[in-house]
Amino acid sequence: MSPKKGKILVVDDDGDVLQAARLFLKQHVQSIETEKDPKSIPTLLKNNRYDLILLDMNFTEDVSSGKEGFFWLRKILEMDPSIAVILITAYGDIDKAVKAVKEGATDFVLKPWKNEKLLATVMAAMQLTDSKREVAELKETQKQLSSDIDYHYKEIIGRSPAMLDVFNTIEKVAATDANVLILGENGTGKEMIARALHRRSQRKERVFISVDMGAISETLFESELFGYTKGAFTDAKEDKAGRFEVANGGTLFLDEIGNLPMPLQAKLLTVLQNRQVTRVGAVTPKSIDIRLVCATNTSLKDMVAESTFRQDLLFRINTIEIHLPPLRNRIEDINDIAAHFVTLYSKKYKKQISAIDKEALAKLEKYHWPGNVRELQHAVERAIIMAEKETLTASDFMLAQSKEHTEQVSFNDYNLEEVEKMILRKALLKHEGNISKAADELGLTRASLYRRMDKYGL
């Protein structure tokens, strides 16, 4: 037998009604209180948390109009909007009870009631209270988490002029619904910028949906982004909303949009122009209301010139551009970023490490960071795990070969993948991460170079 749950308050100036309700309901709920005087309601609500209030519509001061019932209904909902209120009324007052439901009452019961009907109404109302409070708590938790994570760009660390420019742009455009394109190398934190835009937007209470466009195959593109209906294809066992529908009312973040093949670019453009999606297997389109943020580590303008990215799609997605600088161009931020990760991973791995010495910091500032902030994060995590002292030293950081050590290419073996990786790294270092220049020197297209960089984790 499941344990009894719920705390109920019954307010009625008829003692017989109070006794009947208490004797019956105490068998089914955890706690029940009764009160004759409705003027006690504010004090009772301040001192108790009820799941349900059974409220008479007419008291001795107002025998038949129901005005007192309406007054106390409004008062209760003003003090606790989540609480369910069931009105107790006579058969002749059904019209008033229906009006009260429209004004916020959960339901009503007629006197004299049938116990089975009363119990079913009470249990359904208490479940509604639980649902309302759960939703309210989830919203408050999400709000608090967003506040904690995003306080003064807590997770986006930077005091360099380049990052201050980024923060300034976010503040200017976040509250608008303008489409934003975030440009930056791998590991610079493009998704974090997208989330910062969302948390400062008018849609911050709604969802943020992130989609890695490079991870979605052409065959799954439409079903993943636009959804599908039951029976649309072999494995479509039920209707499913796509990412655009799920993001409705919120922000949709399309990461690595430069990886999208031309045929799929046309489909995406159509949806963005019409602000409607049609599920695979459906005929009727559905309207969508999203704030679009895109990101890429490629130069879409170069891709347009190479006829690998649609110019009209570029115009559609880049009302505002935010350029994230590579870590090598904001050396002054390395100390703060590294210190943040030291605190984070010392706590995670339960180590008493609180600082990085000067020699280690100098080593970090001299390094080229082809993997940007993400590479620094991994370097600090690895150092924390391996460190034996309370302060990180230069020897704790195992970095890849620096620029000066890779000017001359020497082969220790003839493994083609290792040779290719070494040459790619040399070209990237030589041109300080400029993808277009490195690709030109290597005789590759930008897209081909990016594929090889992903392959080797560069």
Q: In this structure, what CATH number is given to the domain that contains residue 421?
A: 1.10.10.60
Identify the CA nearest to 355 among candidates 321, 323, 393: 393
Q: In DSSP terms, which residues pair with 88 in a beta bridge?
A: 56, 109
Structural domain span for residue 335: 328-396
Q: Same domain for 71 and 214?
A: no
- Tell whether 190 is covered by a domain: yes
The count of structural domains within the chain is: 4
The one-digit pLDDT tens for each residue of the chain (458 residues) are: 557 788 999 999 888 999 999 999 999 999 999 999 999 999 999 888 899 999 988 775 554 556 788 889 999 999 988 899 999 887 667 787 788 888 899 998 888 898 999 999 999 999 998 888 888 777 766 655 555 444 444 568 999 999 999 999 999 999 999 999 999 999 999 999 999 999 999 999 999 999 998 888 888 898 999 999 988 888 888 888 999 999 999 999 999 999 999 999 999 999 999 999 999 998 889 999 999 999 999 999 999 999 999 999 999 999 999 999 999 999 999 999 999 999 999 999 999 998 999 999 999 999 999 999 999 999 999 999 999 899 999 999 988 764 444 444 445 556 777 788 888 888 888 776 778 788 878 888 877 887 788 777 77
- Report the C-alpha gap between 174 and 166 in whole angstroms: 12
| Pair 445, 306: CB distance under 8 Å | yes
pLDDT of the residue at 429: 80
Q: In this structure, what CATH number is given to the domain that contains residue 87?
A: 3.40.50.2300
Q: Same domain for 370 and 439?
A: no
- Report the C-alpha gap between 289 and 308 in whole angstroms: 28
Q: Same domain for 12 and 33?
A: yes
Q: Same domain for 176 and 301?
A: yes
Question: Torsions phi, psi of 283, nearest 5?
Answer: -110, -40
Q: Same domain for 128 and 18?
A: yes
Q: In DSSP terms, which residues pair with 228 in a beta bridge?
A: 240, 280
pTM: 0.59
- Report the C-alpha gap between 17 and 312 in whole angstroms: 72
- Tell whether 127 is covered by a domain: yes
Q: Same domain for 391 and 416?
A: no
- Tell whether 250 is covered by a domain: yes
Q: Same domain for 59 and 96?
A: yes
Longest CA span, the chain:
99
**Which of the listed residues 396, 415, 445 is the one where a domain comes to its end?**
396
> What letters, b where the CB count within 10 A reaches 16 and e where it falls short, cover 15-38?
eebbebbeeebeebbeebebbbeb
Q: Same domain for 254 and 352?
A: no
Q: Same domain for 248 and 208?
A: yes
Q: Same domain for 193 and 312?
A: yes
Q: In this structure, what CATH number is given to the domain that contains residue 378?
A: 1.10.8.60
